[in-house]
Amino acid sequence: MLDDVRPSGKLKEQGMTEVEDKILALIRETMPEAPAELTLDASLEADLGLTSLDITEVVFSIEDAFDITLDFDASTASRFQTVRDVATHVEEIVAHKG
């Protein structure tokens, strides 16, 4: 049970992958003003209010944490509307990497 406790003090959501859980934790760490009830279906812009600069900070944080490079720029940003979109992309890169 202790393995399921996150730094935020919240329990890991049931059925969540390690990548999804880590990305939520990274967003909370990078953006302290993120809502306490951050979910995978949260919209990066509408729900979290992230600006392009905020998203860039989160991307750098994810790249460092997973030791990967995300193909994320103005032309690809529209593919990433929700936290789940980002997590799915990271999971694909991690799977191909390893």
Domain that holds residue 93: 2-97
pLDDT of residue 10: 42
Q: What is the mean pLDDT of the chain?
A: 83
- Give the CATH number of the domain where residue 44 resides: 1.10.1200.10
pLDDT tens by residue, 48-65: 999 888 888 999 999 999
Q: What's the maximum distance between 2 C-alpha atoms anywhere in the chain?
A: 42
pLDDT of residue 8: 40
pLDDT of residue 60: 93
Q: Count how many domains the chain has.
A: 1
Residues 6 or more apart from 6 whose CB is under 8 A from it?
A: 12, 21, 24, 25
